[in-house]
Structure 1
């Protein structure tokens, strides 16, 4: 069976969450970014698994959350769109620590073969309480993912720099005439 887990990845602050909100409004199930959920939880509880406090602890949690997200959505019969996920977290942890977590995890737990990548777009980049790193760190993240995803056998498709609605149309058109599961 073809994998219907579609990963939206790429540079921070480039409209991934906005695209996922558009897809959700059209009736498609979406999975929110693990990192943002972890940060919100850690800030609320006074935890230390934050990227600016303990990056490794944060990334280990992100891997765990991404794996749980994939497991929880397996029963869904239609397309599911992920705002970041396992590849993002595992590649960041491997880059940070040198621990070989990328291939064991990402070879077993796969997304659809086509991954959508948000390109650098400085005009819309903003920081916020949950995204504190600057544009250069976002660019380093983008470059790392552009090496990692093809090495894992994914076909990387760059999202055009257009409105969220046009981006959603682009994603859906890439898969043909798909409709949300009832």
Structure 2
């Protein structure tokens, strides 16, 4: 199978961004976590808290933009999260997944690997954008993993290992 996309999903604070940076340092094309970028703009945290559906729409738009940015790229691209993560975010919030998000998850498909970073308490840290406690991170992990499976993807767990080992794991699969 031609691996064009590698998507890192899973728990908040489980090392996805660190692995993404290691992949970039190794010369792979990468796409950042769009939610984190949205949370950093003025009003981003309030939007997430006050209108999670609008925040989900903003995440979808950003994911579509990132996906399209690499449409003609022939080498593997590593994405920090993807469309089903938006559905998982809404599932955790107890909200229905709007048709636009559901259709994107069904019709705009990643071709490659979906690698899950399981909740890992030993490395978990909250920060200004990662506001969940560890129990909420575990709940988020379960929701996004279920969403990826619901949309027909096979998920492989990253090892609970140092970043160099995780990068080797990723590179061995592409």
For normalisation by structure 2, the TM-score amounts to 0.90
- What's the offset of the Cα at 1:54? 2.8
- What's the offset of the Cα at 1:94? 5.1
* 1:97 to 2:84 alignment: no
- What's the offset of the Cα at 1:49? 5.2
1:14 is aligned to 14
Equivalent pair of 2:70/2:77 in contact (CA under 8 Å) = yes
* 1:52 to 2:27 alignment: no
Q: Give me the whole-angstrom Cα distance separating, in 2, the residues matched to 1:104 and 1:147.
A: 17
Equivalent pair of 2:10/2:141 in contact (CA under 8 Å) = yes
1:23 is aligned to 23
* 1:87 to 2:107 alignment: no
2:40 is aligned to 40
* 1:167 to 2:162 alignment: no
Q: Give me the whole-angstrom Cα distance separating, in 2, the residues matched to 1:47 and 1:19.
A: 25
1:107 is aligned to 106
1:179 is aligned to none
Note the aligned Cα RMSD (angstroms).
1.9
- What's the offset of the Cα at 1:60? 1.3
Q: Flag the 1:55–1:34 CA change in 2: closer, same or farther, 3 A.
A: same
Q: Which has the higher contact order (CA 8 A, sep 6+)?
A: 2
Write the deviation string for residues 58-93 of structure 1: whole angstroms up to 9, x where unpaired. 211111100111011112121000001211013323
Which residues of structure 1 form unaligned runs of 5+? 176-182
Q: Flag the 1:47–1:19 CA change in 2: closer, same or farther, 3 A.
A: closer
1:81 is paired with a residue of what secondary structure? Answer: strand
Q: How many residues align?
A: 172
